[in-house]
Chains A and B, each alone.
Chain A
Amino acid sequence: MSIASGSVDGIPAAEVPDVELYHPRSWITKWVFSQDAKVIGIQYALTATAIGLVALVLSWLMRLQLGFPGVFDFITPAEYYQFITMHGMIMVVYLLTALFLGGFGNYLIPLMIGARDMVFPYMNMLSYWIYLLAVLVLVASFFAPGGPTGAGWTLYPPQSILSGTPGGQDWGIILMLLSLMLFIIGFTMGGLNYVVTVLQARARGMTMMRMPLTVWGIFTATVMALLAFPALFVSAVMMLLDRLLGTSFFMPALVEMGQRLNHEGGSPLLFQHLFWFFGHPEVYIVALPAFGIVSDLISVHARRNIFGYRMMVWAIIIIGALSFIVWAHHMYVSGMNPYFGFFFATTTLIIAVPTAIKVYNWLLTLWRGDIHLTVPMLFALAFIVTFVNGGLTGLFLGNVVVDVPLSDTMFVVAHFHMVMGVAPIFVIFGAIYHWYPKITGRMLNEVMGRIHFWVSFLGAYLIFFPMHYIGLLGVPRRYHEIGETAFVPASAHTLNAFISVMALIVGAAQIVFLFNLAWSIRRGRSAGDNPWNAASLEWQTPQTPPPHGNWGQDLPVVYRWAYDYSVPGAAQDFIPQNQPPAKAAE
């Protein structure tokens, strides 16, 4: 046991025996200021869900306004812009990023690679608390004078810090930027943990090529996030200075409402470059963990090895690398040098190839499988449908000239909701149905799960598929009402109202899900250690839910990859990763 070389500054190494681990001494250190990655993961997940509910309510409000303009007088244009901005920012950063990396990352990485905990538990705890602080600052902006910022989640200057935008000259934008900076600091602390834990604390025998794709996805996404989030940090700092100290990083000479402002020479495009250098990798920071998790869900519930594991790993790596040189495809009509369009369209469409390979391999895993239509599997199937749909419309928007008429229309809104809203959230749902038994020891209620699935899947598809066609008409995004517009037929307003009604229904279905989460903690069917007969390591813990330290006396030793399902000659249709070769044939 290499205690000496691994233990620094009182932080125990991952491979120390149970007695050497940090031990909570009270209820507070066990459940509140906990340093156990599993508890931190749950804290992340609960906080992200809570703030996600705020985002859900905001989406209801904005859909009410869009679907029935003029009916809900209490929603002013200013509030509408605040709703869409906060909805977008919350969903992308505070929900999806935090939940995939902070939530699933914390809970699953140590369990899946056979470690006792993250390598820097104290820093891991700090990571969560700074995240919580970031969320609180964000929430505070709702109560600040002038309300939250309404600059759109992209926060494009100059408008984001001018008086024509809600919160631009008030507290809204300042709190938004501060919150983002806090989030990034907190994330970096967590991210260091996830990366180093994967590199340093894998159990004996757990080579990189034996890791479940979930870990591959979260690991790669974390590496990307560590390099991409600084770009958001830099743009936030610089915008804050433009706003507070009157510098001109992003602010050109301009006349606002007849008033000449004191800025000179700054470049709004500079902000966009920095923002999207973060923003595009961010899409994959959300997508890669989803890819990984869904691969595992499909494999377990189709009782078949993930098809083309090596290709899947390579594709994750290639997508991660390429995602750093495609950012300007968000800027085709931004006024940047038009010749960049050739380069970025090419790199963007190249990414489609490894992404398509992943889709094929999911399908080929289903093919000749033994498909159990459990709730996790249902959500995995729904993910494939919505992800393929959203991915294919990405080929419209990535192909520079096709993007010209479609950019900044509802087509874009439909596209990114399908591909990075609905699809990853389906993975989150599937993952929760899948791992809830490990987290709580009880199964989620099946009937409620199916209701939740059907309403969410069909409803979300009915919301976002028709929305593309509203965009095709030419309706721009970020309009609080379409208004009297010659090129928009009356029937489109009806469609809009229909979408709003569906949004309300789908939102309401989430209440069933939340109720199920609470109800099943006590009333759910007892799950046992491995209810899905899964092969990966997290299902092989001696106790469920796993106690602090995860593994009891001895760390597991890994003898095989995570996908030994339906192996010919094996006694069962799965072989756990930690089962020695001799025993498998018994």
Chain B
Amino acid sequence: MTAIILYVAVLGSIAAWWLSRQRLMAKPWLEVGAAGEAPGTGASEVPAAKLGLWVFLAVVGALLTLFVSAYLMRMHMSQDWRPLPTPWMLWFNTALLALSSFGLHRAQMAARIGWRQGIEVGMIAGGLAALGFLAGQYLAWQQVMAEGFGVATNPSSSFFYLITTVHGLHLLGGLVVLGRTIYRTARGAGLEQLRLSVELCATYWHFLLVAWIALFGLLLHG
């Protein structure tokens, strides 16, 4: 459970930092009067959707970290763990996902300067690369399967299929939102709105990339 404890500790520190700016030592009964004298204690200025995404990422992070915790504990609690032959496909897939993330990053850049075509190209390229990643993950499954590791063969392979599925499903969910954003871009949605949507997609993509690299490292470790 070390991984999840560390994760919660990191989030706890962020929460503590934020709380420390909310004037927890104030005596509210003495502070009658007009609102918002103390800067930073009012409602957050960050758009709700952005804040919501970050909170959601914290939850997904907890979910993935718990899988990591379970993986490490299962690995060390019993002697039956057989290392999984890492399919070379995973390296290729990692590159694809990085490419996908880069595409969204470009789209975000384009959104910042108001270049509509750039937004579309970046998002479509990113989306295609992400689809390629998912297809690649499927091929990686085939490779592992061909090595004689089925879902129930060994915990190492059980975790491999489980973790890649969980990560893939999150990416799939992201693709649905990305598809919607591409559609709205094509329909000529307002730039201000697009800017935020693209930024949210990019943030989510970067998160999934970082998460995948961490999970891939874990699979290599096992």
Direct contact of A and B (CB under 8 A): yes
Please give the residue numbers on chain A whose beta carbons come within 8 Å of chain B beta carbons, in ascending order. Answer: 4-9, 11, 13-14, 119-120, 188, 191-193, 195-196, 199-210, 223, 226-227, 230-231, 233-234, 237-238, 241, 245-249, 252, 262, 264-267, 269-270, 273-274, 277, 305, 309-310, 313-314, 317, 321, 324-325, 557-561, 563-564, 581, 584
Interface SS majority for chain B: helix
| Residues B154-212 near A (CB distance < 8 A) | 155, 158, 162, 166, 192-193, 196-197, 200
B35 lies within 8 A of A558 (CB): yes
Report the separation of the CA atoms of residues A267 and B27 in the bound assembly, to the nearest whole angstrom: 51
Given A199-B43, A200-B51, A314-B24, A188 and B59 contact (CB-CB distance below 8 Å): yes
Which of B76-84, B85-93, B98-106, B138-146 lies at the interface with chain A? B76-84
Given A200-B46, A207-B41, A267 and B5 contact (CB-CB distance below 8 Å): no
Report the separation of the CA atoms of residues A210 and B23 in the bound assembly, to the nearest whole angstrom: 11
A4 lies within 8 A of B192 (CB): yes
Given A209-B26, A581-B33, A249 and B70 contact (CB-CB distance below 8 Å): yes
B24 lies within 8 A of A247 (CB): no
CB distance from B219 to the nearest CB of A (A): 16
B44 lies within 8 A of A200 (CB): yes
Q: Does B135 contact A (CB under 8 A)?
A: no
Q: Does B19 contact A (CB under 8 A)?
A: yes
Report the separation of the CA atoms of residues A270 and B78 in the bound assembly, to the nearest whole angstrom: 11
Chain A residue at minimum C-beta to C-beta distance from B22: A208
Please classify how large the interface on chain B is, using the bins under 10, 10 to 19, 20 to 34, 35 or more.
35 or more
30 sample A-B contacts, Cβ–Cβ < 8 Å, listed by A number: A7-B193, A188-B59, A192-B52, A193-B52, A200-B48, A204-B42, A205-B36, A207-B23, A209-B22, A209-B23, A209-B26, A209-B28, A226-B55, A230-B63, A234-B63, A238-B70, A246-B152, A248-B152, A264-B80, A266-B74, A267-B78, A270-B70, A270-B73, A270-B74, A277-B66, A321-B12, A559-B33, A560-B28, A560-B33, A564-B32
Given A119-B52, A321-B12, A581 and B70 contact (CB-CB distance below 8 Å): no
| A6 CB contact (under 8 Å) in B23, B48, B81 | B48
List 7 A-B pairs, minimum CB-CB distance, nearest first: A205-B35, A265-B80, A561-B28, A8-B49, A265-B78, A230-B63, A119-B48
Report the separation of the CA atoms of residues A559 and B15 in the bound assembly, to the nearest whole angstrom: 26
Chain B residue at minimum C-beta to C-beta distance from A123: B52
CB distance from A138 to the nearest CB of B (A): 22
CB distance from B189 to the nearest CB of A (A): 10
| A231 CB contact (under 8 Å) in B12, B66, B192 | B66
Given A204-B35, A227-B59, A11 and B28 contact (CB-CB distance below 8 Å): no
B43 lies within 8 A of A226 (CB): no
Q: Which residues of A contact B25 (CB under 8 A)?
A: 310
Q: Which residues of B contact A274 (CB under 8 A)?
A: 66, 69-70
CB distance from A125 to the nearest CB of B (A): 15
Report the separation of the CA atoms of residues A333 and B212 in the bound assembly, to the nearest whole angstrom: 37
| B151 CB contact (under 8 Å) in A4, A204, A247, A273 | A247
Given A8-B193, A195-B55, A196-B55, A559 and B32 contact (CB-CB distance below 8 Å): yes
CB distance from A158 to the nearest CB of B (A): 14
Report the separation of the CA atoms of residues A456 and B15 in the bound assembly, to the nearest whole angstrom: 39
Chain B residue at minimum C-beta to C-beta distance from A15: B43
Chain A residue at minimum C-beta to C-beta distance from B184: A9
A196 lies within 8 A of B51 (CB): yes
Chain B residue at minimum C-beta to C-beta distance from A321: B12
CB distance from A402 to the nearest CB of B (A): 24
CB distance from B13 to the nearest CB of A (A): 11
Chain A residue at minimum C-beta to C-beta distance from B53: A192
Chain B residue at minimum C-beta to C-beta distance from A10: B193
Chain B residue at minimum C-beta to C-beta distance from A193: B52
Given A237-B162, A274-B66, A210 and B155 contact (CB-CB distance below 8 Å): no
Given A11-B48, A266-B74, A309-B29, A192 and B12 contact (CB-CB distance below 8 Å): no
CB distance from A486 to the nearest CB of B (A): 38
A207 lies within 8 A of B38 (CB): yes
Given A274-B66, A317-B19, A208 and B41 contact (CB-CB distance below 8 Å): yes
Chain B residue at minimum C-beta to C-beta distance from A237: B162
Given contacts A9-B197, A204-B43, A267-B74, 10 further A-B contacts (CB under 8 A): A8-B48, A8-B49, A188-B59, A231-B66, A237-B166, A245-B152, A262-B152, A266-B74, A273-B1, A559-B35
Chain B residue at minimum C-beta to C-beta distance from A220: B15
CB distance from B118 to the nearest CB of A (A): 21
Given A238-B70, A559-B33, A247 and B27 contact (CB-CB distance below 8 Å): no
Chain A residue at minimum C-beta to C-beta distance from B25: A310
Q: Which residues of B contact A564 (CB under 8 A)?
A: 29, 32
Q: Which residues of A contact B26 (CB under 8 A)?
A: 207, 209, 310
B158 lies within 8 A of A248 (CB): yes
Q: Which residues of B contact A119 (CB under 8 A)?
A: 48, 52
Q: Which residues of A contact B152 (CB under 8 A)?
A: 245-248, 262
A241 lies within 8 A of B162 (CB): yes
A5 lies within 8 A of B80 (CB): no
Q: Does B58 contact A (CB under 8 A)?
A: yes
Q: Which residues of B contact A223 (CB under 8 A)?
A: 15
B56 lies within 8 A of A192 (CB): yes
CB distance from A313 to the nearest CB of B (A): 7
A559 lies within 8 A of B8 (CB): no
Report the separation of the CA atoms of residues A93 and B70 in the bound assembly, to the nearest whole angstrom: 23
| A277 CB contact (under 8 Å) in B4, B33, B47, B80 | B4
Q: Does B67 contact A (CB under 8 A)?
A: yes
| A230 CB contact (under 8 Å) in B19, B66, B155 | B66
A14 lies within 8 A of B78 (CB): no
Q: Which residues of B contact A305 (CB under 8 A)?
A: 29
A309 lies within 8 A of B28 (CB): yes
Q: Which residues of B contact A237 (CB under 8 A)?
A: 162, 166
Q: Which residues of B contact A210 (CB under 8 A)?
A: 28
Report the separation of the CA atoms of residues A220 and B75 in the bound assembly, to the nearest whole angstrom: 34
Q: Does B62 contact A (CB under 8 A)?
A: yes
Q: Which residues of A contact B162 (CB under 8 A)?
A: 237-238, 241
CB distance from B92 to the nearest CB of A (A): 27
Q: Which residues of A contact B48 (CB under 8 A)?
A: 6, 8, 11, 13-14, 119-120, 196, 200-201
